[in-house]
Amino acid sequence: MILTSGRLVEYEGGGDETRSNPWLAELQQDMFVEMNPFDANGKNIRNGDMVWVKTPEGAQIKVMAQVTERVAKGVAFLPFHFGGHLEGKDLRSKYPEGADPYVLGESANTAFTYGYDSVTLMQESKCSLCTIERV
């Protein structure tokens, strides 16, 4: 599937500050992947199931499936404001005491490729590939 990423209205950038704000964190408590009902049905995935998003370089992230027609068939979307989980492991205990945000989740960057723009050195965060499987 084509993998892309983008923003949520509640969070900003990597999300550490905004996920540390209780009013905002309460509104988005889970890192997720949006997928079309057509793709989800084919893989026996229901809305709210935990899934592995696996990418060509061997990375995998464990996120919640959001089944929606907002994305086209064959496209998966990740929001990029989460961090603090790495390939299914919760790293909350590694934060200095009192510095951990209310909400943690897999970082979209874990799943994206090594590609980057040679002029600006900006990483490729819009276009990659993945497969999705139920956990």
Token code pair at residue 129: 């590939």
Inter-residue contact 76 to 33 (CB < 8 Å): yes
- Binding footprint of other proteins, residue count (CB under 8 A): 10
Query: Binding residue for other proteins (CB under 8 A) from 17, 30, 69, 87?
Result: 69
Residue 61: burial class (beta carbons within 10 Å; 0-12, 13-18, 19+): buried
Q: Pick the piece of the chain touching other proteins (CB under 8 A) from 19-27, 50-58, 83-91, 112-120.
A: 19-27
The answer to whether residue 76 forms part of the interface with other proteins (CB under 8 A) is no
68 versus 109: smaller Cβ distance to other proteins: 68
Please give the C-alpha separations between residue 105 and each of 20, 39, 110, 132, in angstroms, as whole numbers: 13, 23, 11, 17
| Minimum distance, C-beta of residue 35 to other proteins, in the bound complex (Å) | 11
**Are the CB atoms for 74 and 102 separated by under 8 Å?**
no
Residue 30 interacts with other proteins (CB under 8 A): yes or no: no
Cβ 125 to other proteins, closest distance in Å? 22
Contacting residues toward other proteins, per CB under 8 A: 9-10, 22-24, 26-27, 68-70
